[in-house]
Amino acid sequence: MLRLKNLSARVVIIGVAIIWIIKFIIRPFVHIPQSLKPFTGLAPNLIGSFLLPFGACWFFQRMFRMQTMQDLKIATWFGLVLVIINEYMQLIPVFHRTFDYLDILSSFAGVLCGYFAFAKAMQRYVFKTYP
């Protein structure tokens, strides 16, 4: 289980670094062709949602044990619901944010990919059978 936690920590740190690079370096300072702008707009949502199961394993060990597939499903669904609520809260004008259905779709795709990637890591580190 410790190896899975260490893997989760590395994945989250690298993922957050990539999101920051996209948001604070690439978007403001790099010329992006118009055809690629949707990808740089959706990438942080996709990557951030991918990180949800890994972040749950690393940060919220007491709430999400991540020892069974059921634990993974609960954590993933919980994360997806929070992402969707966050997106809908952007409809409230006080936050000065923009709501976009494509953000929800990219978040869903990210959570789905994160679920399968984390399930693969669980098979390797948690469900490993010893001879």
Domain residue spans in the chain? 2-125
| Per-residue pLDDT at 95 | 79
Whether 65 has a pLDDT exceeding 80, the answer reads no
Half-sphere exposure of 100 (CA within 13 A, CB side): 11
pLDDT, tens only, 15-47: 999 999 999 999 999 999 999 888 888 999 999
Please, which pLDDT band fits residue 12 given cuts at 50, 70 and 90? very high
| Per-residue pLDDT at 128 | 66
Whether 130 has a pLDDT exceeding 60, the answer reads no
Q: Indicate left, alpha or beta for 97 from its phi (over 0: left) and psi (-120 to 50: alpha).
A: beta
Rounded-to-10 torsion of CA 85, 91, 95, 99: 80
Task: Read off the pLDDT of each residue in 85-101 and give the average, rounded to a whole number.
Answer: 88
Taking all residues of the chain, what is their mean pLDDT, rounded to a whole number? 90
Please, which pLDDT band fits residue 64 given cuts at 50, 70 and 90? confident
Please, which pLDDT band fits residue 63 given cuts at 50, 70 and 90? confident
| Per-residue pLDDT at 78 | 92
Whether 119 has a pLDDT exceeding 90, the answer reads yes
User: Long-range contacts of range 9-18, CB-CB < 8 Å, 24 or more positions apart?
Assistant: 9/58, 11/51, 11/54, 12/51, 12/54, 12/55, 12/58, 15/47, 15/48, 15/50, 15/51, 15/54, 16/51, 18/47
